[in-house]
A = this chain, B = another copy of it.
Amino acid sequence: MAKLIALYKHPENKEEFDNHYFNVHVPITAKMPGLGDMKVTKFTGSPMGGESEYYLMCEMYFDSLEDLQQALRSPEGKATAKDLMGFASDLFTLMIGEDA
> A residues near B, CB below 8 A?
3-5, 7, 22, 39-48, 52-54, 56-57, 65, 69, 72, 93-100
Contact = CB atoms under 8 A, between A and B. Distances in A.
Q: Which of A57, A72, A95 has the most CB of B within 10 A?
A: A95
A95 B53 contact: yes
A65 B45 CA distance: 11
Contacts of A69: 47
A52 B95 contact: yes
B95 A42 contact: no
> Closest 8 CB pairs between A and B?
A52-B95, A40-B100, A42-B100, A41-B97, A43-B97, A53-B93, A43-B95, A45-B96
